[in-house]
Amino acid sequence: MIERSGLRVINMRALLSFFMLIAVAVVVKSEEKWWSAMSLYQIYPRSFKDSNGDGIGDLKGIIDNLDHLVESKVTAMWMSPIYPSPGVDMGYDISNFIEIDPLFGTLEDFDILLEKAHKTGLKVLMDFVPNHSSDQHEWFQKSVKDIPPYNNYYVWANGTFKAGGTRAPPNNWVSVFGGPAWTWNDQRQAYYLHQFTPQQPDLNYRYENLRDEIKNVLRFWLDRGVDGFRIDVINHVFEIQSLQDEPLSGNTNDPNNYGYLNHIYTKDQPECYELVRQWRELLDEYNKDGEHERLMVLEAYTDINLTMKYYKFGASFPFNFGFIQRLNADSSPADVKFVIDEWMARMPDGNTANWVIGNHDQKRVASRYGVERAQGIIALLLLLPGVLIMYNGDEIGMPNNYVSWEQGKDPQGCNAGREGFEAASRDPFRTPFLWDGTTSAGFSTNPNTWLPVNPDYKSLNLEVQKEAGDSQFKFYQTVAELRSWPTAQSGDLYTYVISDNIFAISRILGGQRSIYLVLNFGNELRNEDLTRKIENIPGELIIYRGIGNSDLPYGSIIDSKSAQIPARGAVIYVTPEMSRKFEVKLL
């Protein structure tokens, strides 16, 4: 057994290959950090709640509805960008890093939000977008005019000339949303780099003045009292200085498709990690007494090794997208076990795990796993050790909503053209929150909202679910309640493949009641002898909660040799009495 300051892990890398055979035990010691077991709720401000009837959500809408976060038992929130923006990439094209877009409110509104959230016990993280600004940002406007020091704030390069004298970009790089990553600027007589849309020029982190400027942006929000940052696409921030061509991936012949190249020179450069280290130092200036660590949560879609490396450079945690990218409705218990065990085993010593349910860039969990299975998956993530990250609407099971080409807003969808729009657009994951059965689902008094409201909102909304005897929201709430038990906060974790369709975890803490969650991925009710695979499971268990069968007798005692798990459902059991802590033996 290897001792860690925050964790003791029994099976490390060497045992990764045995994951399928054994019950992996991850022993979680109770942590002192304020955020070690937090539930972090992502608000997509445009779609959360509109207070002024313009059809777009705003800060006042959030302020007036913080109670929902409390009722959802979350402890912190992060908001997608609320800064001034032309809205080309829905706010991820920022024209002023230290202001609030009038669409959402004012800096005063922001201060009120922060104060009210803090009084309510909620921490607030800003979305910080360092890779690029809007082309409407004053810095870019000055850079175009070659005014020092702004002339060096962006990545400018001369083009090349093809035979015949036609000008061409400096290299073959492709933007994430498709098309060349370079756009010619007549005034500056040079190309500028943009890894996303042409309206999102990449900032030049090789220039010290720019790095300092960005640090001042962080300070601006820290001085206002924010509790940390969710940092956007950190692994895109540096590109190789030589600007050499990226190798072809062989996956597509379309040179305008992002998948055309292996992005070895525009992503995951070593300098990204060094920047994270510097930002950690800055954040720690605000935690001199060690009382209130400021969070640095990183978004980086990359492989597991490069992801884990961010922990070592001072990230509170890099997002764990395993349940988004690597698992879906077709995954087996062994797949799920692997994804959980791998993260726990690979995470560097003393760090905190995290589990992302969804976000504004990904299909909603109810649509990825199916409405029924998704609830079991949410329960699973609520009961795993570490931080839970959820996306507004997932607590009531909002699925993707149809958005037509004409209604589309997302540049990733619009760039794909009418034919490709549906497959590429992220709009369906971003439609308004469904509060109640009134106009626009109570999101806005305006019947015309920036993206369409789900037409099923009369029956699928928070109010209906709160009033129903049983509902997805009530299920979510009771599991979130269980998450606050000491066992769920700091108990040891065990993961089990019980059978072809049955997956289970247990959480065990000495002197406390144990928790077992059993998930059925199959389409038939299963009667399982849990004692076959779960060593030391007591003969009798209490049904805490379940999903997939409304007749489950909550609170009644069952025999662990015949646990009934509904099709596509899940059951959570707790032990009747205090469990004695036992030494873990590998099966």
Q: Which residues pair with 493 in a beta bridge?
A: 26, 507
CB of 33 to ligand NOJ, least distance (A): 25
Residue 104 and residue 88 in contact, taking contact as beta carbons nearer than 8 Å: no
CB of 176 to ligand NOJ, least distance (A): 7
Residue 403 and residue 425 in contact, taking contact as beta carbons nearer than 8 Å: yes
Q: Determine if 202 is a binding residue for ligand NOJ (CB under 6 A).
A: no
Residue 340 and residue 384 in contact, taking contact as beta carbons nearer than 8 Å: yes
Pick 92 or 192: Cβ nearer ligand NOJ: 92
Contacts with ligand NOJ in 56-75 (CB under 6 A)?
Answer: none
CB of 514 to ligand NOJ, least distance (A): 38
Q: Is 299 one of the annotated active-site residues of the chain?
A: yes
Q: Determine if 395 is a binding residue for ligand NOJ (CB under 6 A).
A: no
Integer Cα distance of 76 and 35 in angstroms:
9
Pick 429 or 503: Cβ nearer ligand NOJ: 429
Residue 45 and residue 82 in contact, taking contact as beta carbons nearer than 8 Å: yes
CB of 425 to ligand NOJ, least distance (A): 12
- Among 232, 342, 372, 427, the active-site one is 232
Total residues in contact with ligand NOJ, by rule CB under 6 A = 8
Amino acid letter, residue 58: D
Contacts with ligand NOJ in 211-240 (CB under 6 A)?
Answer: 232-233
Residue 421 and residue 413 in contact, taking contact as beta carbons nearer than 8 Å: yes
Distances (CA, A) of 142 to 135, 138, 146, 192, 493: 10, 6, 6, 13, 54
CB of 495 to ligand NOJ, least distance (A): 29
CB of 232 to ligand NOJ, least distance (A): 5
Q: Determine if 414 is a binding residue for ligand NOJ (CB under 6 A).
A: no
Residue 579 and residue 486 in contact, taking contact as beta carbons nearer than 8 Å: no
Q: Determine if 97 is a binding residue for ligand NOJ (CB under 6 A).
A: no
Question: How, if at all, do strands 190-193 and 182-185 pair?
Answer: antiparallel
* φ/ψ (deg, to 5) at 340: -70, -50
Pick 44 or 516: Cβ nearer ligand NOJ: 44
- Among 299, 341, 342, 395, the active-site one is 299
Pick 92 or 173: Cβ nearer ligand NOJ: 92
Integer Cα distance of 409 and 587 in angstroms:
53
Separate counts of helices (H) and strands (E) for the chain: 17, 23
CB of 273 to ligand NOJ, least distance (A): 19
Pick 6 or 428: Cβ nearer ligand NOJ: 428
Q: Determine if 451 is a binding residue for ligand NOJ (CB under 6 A).
A: no
Residue 124 and residue 163 in contact, taking contact as beta carbons nearer than 8 Å: no
Pick 324 or 518: Cβ nearer ligand NOJ: 324
Q: Determine if 89 is a binding residue for ligand NOJ (CB under 6 A).
A: yes
Q: Determine if 135 is a binding residue for ligand NOJ (CB under 6 A).
A: no
- Closest C-alpha to 174, from 207, 154, 199, 197: 197
Question: CA neighbours within 13 Å on the CB side: how many for 176?
Answer: 18
Q: Name the residue with the smallest CB distance to ligand NOJ.
A: 92
Q: Is 422 one of the annotated active-site residues of the chain?
A: no
CB of 410 to ligand NOJ, least distance (A): 8
Pick 236 or 507: Cβ nearer ligand NOJ: 236
Q: Structure tokens of 321?
A: 């997208």
DSSP calls for 126-176: EEE--SB--TTSHHHHHHHTT-TTGGGSB-EE--EE-TTS-EE-SS--B-T
Q: Determine if 196 is a binding residue for ligand NOJ (CB under 6 A).
A: yes
Q: Determine if 92 is a binding residue for ligand NOJ (CB under 6 A).
A: yes
Q: Determine if 361 is a binding residue for ligand NOJ (CB under 6 A).
A: yes
Pick 31 or 89: Cβ nearer ligand NOJ: 89
Contacts with ligand NOJ, residue ranges (CB under 6 A): 89, 92, 129, 196, 232-233, 360-361
Residues annotated as part of the active site? 232, 299
